[in-house]
Amino acid sequence: MTKFFDKIAKIPRLGVGISGEFGSANKGIEACLLQENYPELVHFFEYGGDLDRGLDEHVRRWASTGLPTTYHFLDINIEERIDLTSDWLVETIEMAKEINATWLCGDAGRWHFGRRERGHQMLMPPILCMDSVLESVDNIRQIQEQSALCCLPENPPSVVYLGEMHILEYFAEIAERADCGILLDCAHLAIFQHSRNLAPLTGFDNFPFERVIEMHIAGGVLKETNGYQYIDDDHSPEPLESTWQILKYVIERAKNLRAIVYECEHNAAEECLDNFIKLNEMFPCKIETPKLTVK
C-alpha cells in the first residue's frame, strides 16, 4: 500500500459539500445558513482561496463549527515548476491549516499566465503531454510533502485543449506518479469530451478509479461563438445530462470516494435543493452530530 492509500484510509467520508470563495456568501448561497437549515444535505465546505484575498469571515465561521472543510487553491500553476514558490507554499498551508482543511485540491493547469500578478488571472488547462505530467508530479509531491496533506489535482475546464493525451490519461499518469488522489470534475470532463467530439464516458479504460477521492458537479450551458459550439462552465443550478452520466458511472466505481462538491454557490439556495437531495441519495453520508452535554 502506498503512502497515499495509508493516508486516505484514515480520512472519513465527508459527504456532499458546497463550494465558496472569498465573499461568495454575500452574493449567493451562505453555506453556514444552508447547513443550519438542511444539515442532512450539506456536510462540508470547500473554500476556494488565493494568497491575494486570503480567508473570509464566512469560511472562518464555518470552520469554527468543527464541520469539515477542504481548501481549493485558485492561484498556482501546477504544471509550472517555477510557479511553486516557498512563499506560496508556506502561506497556503497556513491558510489550509487555519480552517482545518482535510486536504488541498484545485484545478491542475494554470491559474494565471506569467507571474502571479494582477490582471494575469486566467484559468487554463494543462498542455496534455508527458512533459507537463512530469512537472506537475514534482509540484504535487512537494505540496504533499510540505503540507503533510493530500493534494488532489482537478481536471480544469476549457474551450480549447492542446496536447496528444486524453485528459483522463493525463490525470491518471499524474496520480500514479505523484502517489496522489484525483478530484474529478464531472462537468469539466463533459466539456472536454464535447470539445473533442467524444462520448461522455470515453477514456475510462485503465483509469485508476481507486484514486478518485473527490468529485465536482455543476451546471453548464451550450453556447456558440461565430458558429462554433462549446459548453460554458457557468455553474448554473442544473448540470448537463452528460455530467450526471459521468457522475453516476464514477460513483459506482470509485470505492475510495470521500466527497462530492456541488458547485452552486452563485445561485439561489432553493434552485439547488433538489440536486442536493439527489446527490445525497447517490452518495449518502451518515454524519454523527456532536451530542450536546448539559452540566
Partner 1 sequence: MSYHTLQHLTVRLLFDEKFVKFVYEDPDSALLGLDLSKEEKAQLLAIDSRAWSYDSLRRLRTMRSLVEEFKASTTLVLAETRQLAFLDKFFSSPQFHDSIQKRGSMGLAFAEYLSEKFRQKELKTPQLADVLRLESLMARCRREFQKIRVTPLPKTLKDDLRIKFVPGADVGAFQANTVLTIQKIEKYLFEVNLMPAMVLCDDAPRLMDLPAVETKKKSYLMCVPAANGVSLIDIEKSDYLVLIEARSSLTIHQAIERAMASGITKSIAQEIIARALEEQTLHLV
Residues that bind partner 1 (CB under 8 A): 79-80, 87, 110, 113-115, 117-120, 122, 124, 127, 129, 131-132, 135, 159-160, 162-164, 223, 225-228, 230
Grid coordinates given for 137: 508530479
> To the nearest whole angstrom, how small is the minimum distance from the Cβ of residue 162 to partner 1?
5
* Closer residue to partner 1 (CB): 127 or 201: 127
Tell me the C-alpha distance between 196 and 157, whole Å: 13
In whole angstroms, how close is the CB of 153 to partner 1 at the nearest point? 16
Smallest gap from Cβ 115 to partner 1, in A, equals 6
Mark 130-145 as b/e (b = at least 16 C-beta within 10 Å): eebbebbbebbebbbe
CB 167 within 8 A of CB 155: yes
The CB-of-113 to partner 1 minimum distance in angstroms stands at 4
CA pair distance 12, 14, nearest whole angstrom: 6
C-alpha–C-alpha distance, residues 266 and 103, integer Å:
23
Please identify, using beta-carbon distances, which residue of 80 and 185 lies nearer to partner 1: 80
37 φ, ψ (degrees, to nearest 5):
-80, -30
Q: What is the rounded CA–CA span in Å between residue 175 and residue 101?
A: 20
* Residue (228 or 291) nearer to partner 1, CB: 228
Which CB atom, from 87 or from 270, has the smaller least distance to partner 1?
87
Residue 121 CB, nearest approach to partner 1 (Å)? 8
- Nearer Cβ to partner 1 (87/281): 87
